[in-house]
Amino acid sequence: MDKLRIMSVFGTRPEAIKMCPLVKELASRPEIESLCCVTAQHRQMLDSVLEVFDIKPDWDLDIMTPRQTLSTITSKCLTGMDEAIDSLKPDMILVHGDTSTTFAGALSAFYHQVKVGHVYDKYSPFPEEMNRKLVSSIADLYFCPTVNNKNNLLKENITDGLFVTGNTVIDALKTTVRENYRFSTEELNRLPYGEKKIILVTCHRRENYGEPMKNIMLALRQIAEQNREVELVYPVHLSPVVREAVDKYLRGAPRVHLIDPLPADEMHNLMARCYMVMTDSGGLQEEAPALGKPVLVMRRETERPEAVEAGTVKLCGVVQDDIVTMAERLIRDSAAYTQMAHAVNPYGDGHACRRIADAIEWRFGLRADRPEEF
């Protein structure tokens, strides 16, 4: 029998981090030919991830242009995918999450009557939520990171082909995190890991612009000033709004390292060596607990309720006193720290890619038993 041809399609940095481990897992199966098609919706950021995972795409649409719109991204993806599908002839196309690439990839597969597997992630802004709904109505198999995600699909009357697999980003850490890792930013190589409590900070969300961001910056400054055993490392987002707030309220504080944004592998290795994470980012709430790092979320709410429920993440809000109080508790109270550090990560155990590959083989009749879920 010919090999099963499975083509993974992605175009942005976050998708690449979550899909590259799956591309490699599929390639390790003798009965599967793992194909990779990138749209390069984010060119430079995508390429840096492909390099980390040592993946060379079989097809590159290279669609990125200055000032691209949702319409140009979607239309270029659709027309480019025609050629990719006709040439590579996949039996199934895998898409991830909710980007314009995801929607166009799934729609193109549908036009070519090729089965679609959706490596699912639920968020709800514009246009992502509509992309996700449209992909959900096209897909044949749904790979859900959590039971919560599965239940959301059930509420939408999607009942067939659902698998709870865990999140592939946890699998990615097995490739990126290394004990002998050297950072390209020399300042990170010189940090006193082990001697001091290194806190990794990120803060860039639009919802925190204005007063909340001012409060966060002042809280971080207070934490650094009041705790001599602590050093803060903050890869500062390129947004002018964020940089202005950092310069005004945080720059010049003792034991605070303000550096440029880091590529995925650097970020993962910094996370692995730090004491805890303070962030308003979504992805870090999934990744840090897999490395045993408590996460304080500097937002009023989080779209990752499973993490709060599991105890790997705590919401500390955007009020200066609340942020300082909760951070200092983890800095000074070893029992509170240990409880969070040892909580079980609800987003996966590092075997999501294996479960997805097993499910695909089962769907195509290459294995007898339906694979076990996470």
Once rounded to an integer, what is the mean pLDDT over residues 286-304?
95
Above 60 in pLDDT, residue 372? yes
Q: What is the pLDDT of residue 66?
A: 84
Q: What is the pLDDT of residue 337?
A: 98
**Contact assessment for residue 25 and residue 353, using Cβ atoms and an 8 Å cutoff:** yes
Q: What is the pLDDT of residue 125?
A: 64
Above 70 in pLDDT, residue 24? yes
State the Cα–Cα distance between residues 88 and 105, nearest whole angstrom. Answer: 14
Once rounded to an integer, what is the mean pLDDT over residues 90-116?
95
**Model pTM score:** 0.90
Once rounded to an integer, what is the mean pLDDT over residues 28-36?
98
The amino acid at residue 321 is D
Above 80 in pLDDT, residue 107? yes
Above 90 in pLDDT, residue 44? no
User: How confident is the prediction for the chain on average, in pLDDT?
Assistant: 94
122-154 residue pLDDT tens: 655 667 788 889 999 999 999 999 998 999 999
- pLDDT: is 301 or 123 the higher one? 301
Q: What is the pLDDT of residue 119?
A: 96
Once rounded to an integer, what is the mean pLDDT over residues 153-164?
95
Q: What are phi and psi for residue 285, nearest 5 degrees?
A: -70, -20
Q: What is the pLDDT of residue 233?
A: 98
| Least confidently predicted of 23-27, 117-121, 191-195 | 117-121
> pLDDT band for position 43 (50/70/90)?
confident
Q: What is the pLDDT of residue 191?
A: 97
Above 90 in pLDDT, residue 114? yes
Q: What is the pLDDT of residue 304?
A: 87
Once rounded to an integer, what is the mean pLDDT over residues 326-348?
97
Closest CA to 74 of 36, 106, 34: 106
Q: What is the pLDDT of residue 1?
A: 62
Once rounded to an integer, what is the mean pLDDT over residues 13-40?
96
- pLDDT: is 70 or 331 the higher one? 331
**Contact assessment for residue 63 and residue 40, using Cβ atoms and an 8 Å cutoff:** yes
State the Cα–Cα distance between residues 287 and 38, nearest whole angstrom. Answer: 24
Q: What is the pLDDT of residue 179?
A: 93
Cα→Cα distances 222→17, 256, 354, Å: 34, 11, 45
Q: What is the pLDDT of residue 120?
A: 86
349-359 residue pLDDT tens: 999 999 999 99
211-264 residue pLDDT tens: 999 999 999 999 999 999 999 999 999 899 999 999 999 999 999 999 999 999
